[in-house]
Amino acid sequence: AVPLTDDRAFLMAGFTNTADELILPTPEARFYLDGRFIGQRFLDMIPAGAEADLSFGAIDGLRLARVIPQRQEGDKGVFTRSSALDETVQIEVENLTAQDWPMRVLDRVPYSEQEELQIEWSAEPSPSETEVDDKRGVLAWTFDLPAGQTQAITLDYSLEWPEGKVLR
């Protein structure tokens, strides 16, 4: 689930090609879930020993919301001046289905590539992973979401930089 880009979660399957030969690309790969035909789509070539992720489509009953209820930008300091940006992000994952779902929710926080830009962040609950797939600022939460339940995630971050500098 990536609430920054979509309001629904997607069913994904990861696997390793354990065959001693590659899986050839085809426009007619058929996908089944629990014995039910889900659909047909293109499948890329998957070499022997390679890992792949396949999407089985959106799960309509898993709803995502991402809102920014608080954003403050301004100057701080009495004798020393600096500019700052404080932001709160609230994420909500709601299970409207009749079954429990294992979830992996991805979101991001800013990161600094400049010494003068100071960034602090916190999350409640804490993420299960940081720097997902070696990507700076990407966070992941992994949890089980029971039927009819909601999981909330709150991200707070603060950016501070010297007065006279421009944040880009």
Lowest mean pLDDT among 38-47, 56-65, 66-75, 109-118: 66-75
Lowest mean pLDDT among 18-22, 56-60, 65-69, 143-147: 56-60
pLDDT tens-digit series, residues 129-158 = 999 999 999 999 999 999 999 999 999 999
CA 31/CA 36 separation, integer angstroms: 8
Establish how many alpha carbons lie within 13 A of residue 58's alpha carbon, considering only the half-sphere containing its beta carbon.
11
pLDDT of res. 80: 44
Looking at residue 49, the DSSP 8-state letter turns out to be T
pLDDT of res. 150: 98
| Tokens 């690309």, located at residue | 25
The pTM for the full model equals: 0.81
Query: Are 145 and 105 spatial neighbours (Cβ–Cβ below 8 Å)?
Result: no
pLDDT of res. 82: 61
pLDDT of res. 61: 94
Instruction: Indicate if the pLDDT at residue 89 is higher than 80.
Output: yes
CB atoms within 10 A of CB 95: 22
pLDDT tens-digit series, residues 71-87 = 776 655 444 456 888 99
Compare 81 and 5 and report the one with higher pLDDT: 5
What lies within 8 Å, CB to CB, of 86 at 6+ separation is 70, 71, 72, 73, 156, 157, 158, 159
